[in-house]
Copies of this chain bind each other. A is one copy, B any other.
Amino acid sequence: MNFEVTILGNSSASPTSSRHPAAQSLKIHNNHILIDCGEGTQMQLSRYKIKRADITQIYISHIHGDHMMGLPGLLLSMNLARRESSIEIFCPQELVEVLELYFKYSETNFSYKINYHLLNEYTSEIIFENDDYTVKSFPVFHRVPTWGFIFQEKRKYRKINQEACKKFNIPFEAYTSIKMGNDFTDENGLIIKNIDLTFDSIAPLSYAYCTDTLFHENVIKAVTGVDLLYHEATFLHDRLERAINMMHSTAKQAGIVAARAMVKMLLIGHFSSRYEALDELLAEAKSEFDNVELADEGKCVNLNFI
């Protein structure tokens, strides 16, 4: 059951030659999702061998350019490639208006359907659900309406008890059926109960994406207990005043959120272009929470192994 995040961009509003604006690729089981789509995302997808054709959903946190200016180009490239399957975009209402005006003037006839799902500014709610995962949005605290997202997988399958299966000589071909909760009947008609061949599933994994926000108690509440938290860390804490003015967080604050929300692992990103090296940002977050890593571009974190 694959559940992994690949970082495509870790820059804040002003990108550098080596750091791109916000974008992440998320794979949950066989679902391919894009979270934010800053300028250059389609090139980053290509660089990290992620097929844009596979993407079925795009979640946009807010309308600031570094989180969505790659979206029109990506949608146009999907069109040039004659995409047929529809795409679901979860985003603010204003973004729809801008996109639709632009597509009108660029005289684009889409080969596929774009379904917009508007985010609700005031409540935390389930905005998508299928057999594999649910997505919950929650408001964060930035200069324009901005949302965080929690992606939580559904564990459909029980965990195979390898030792028991070996003991009962269960053939490998039967594992899928057993994982799905079925008993096993051998060639002599003997029934072996599922409970004797499997363990309960582990708790479903969850990922919280939380960018462009002030440090805030409500954010801590919203992300409490997730396995992996991505939290913005635009500045070092010596620029707290600037962070507050711009409605961003510091690396230290990201660490505090992770610690208080009792997550398993923290990824920090959305770094200001003023920092050429990022080690100080990492050290500052680590002073508050141990298991933290930089959201280096190209980094892939598999939630099954944290």
Task: Tell me the A residues contacting B by CB distance below 8 Å.
Answer: 13-17, 20-21, 39-40, 42-44, 46-47, 63-66, 69-70, 72-73, 76-77, 80-81, 94-95, 97-98, 101-102, 105-107, 143-144
Contacts and interface: CB of A to CB of B under 8 A. Distances in A.
Contact of A73 (B17, B21, B102, B105): B21
Contacts of A21: 73
A97 B105 contact: yes
A253 B47 CA distance: 32
Quick one: which of A69, A81, A94 has the most chain B CB within 10 A?
A69
A285 to B, nearest CB: 23
23 contacts: A13-B76, A14-B80, A15-B42, A15-B43, A15-B77, A16-B43, A16-B46, A17-B46, A21-B73, A39-B39, A39-B40, A39-B70, A40-B43, A63-B106, A64-B106, A65-B72, A65-B73, A69-B73, A95-B105, A97-B101, A98-B101, A105-B144, A107-B144
A46 B101 CA distance: 30
A44 B20 CA distance: 11
State how many copies of this chain the complex holds: 2
A122 to B, nearest CB: 18
A274 to B, nearest CB: 11
Contact of A63 (B63, B81, B105): B105
A89 to B, nearest CB: 16
A39 B98 CA distance: 16
A279 B80 CA distance: 24
Contacts of A16: 43, 46
A63 B65 CA distance: 18
B43 A77 contact: no
Contacts of A143: 107
Contacts of A65: 72-73, 76, 102, 106
A146 to B, nearest CB: 12
Contacts of A76: 13, 65-66
A76 B107 CA distance: 26
Given A73-B21, A98-B98, A106 B144 contact: yes
Nearest to A76: B65
A147 to B, nearest CB: 15
A13 B73 CA distance: 8
Contacts of A107: 143-144
Given A15-B46, A39-B43, A64-B106, 13 more contacts: A13-B80, A14-B81, A39-B40, A39-B73, A40-B43, A63-B102, A63-B106, A65-B73, A65-B102, A69-B70, A97-B101, A97-B105, A98-B105
Contact of A39 (B13, B69, B97, B106): B69
Contacts of A69: 39, 69-70, 72-73
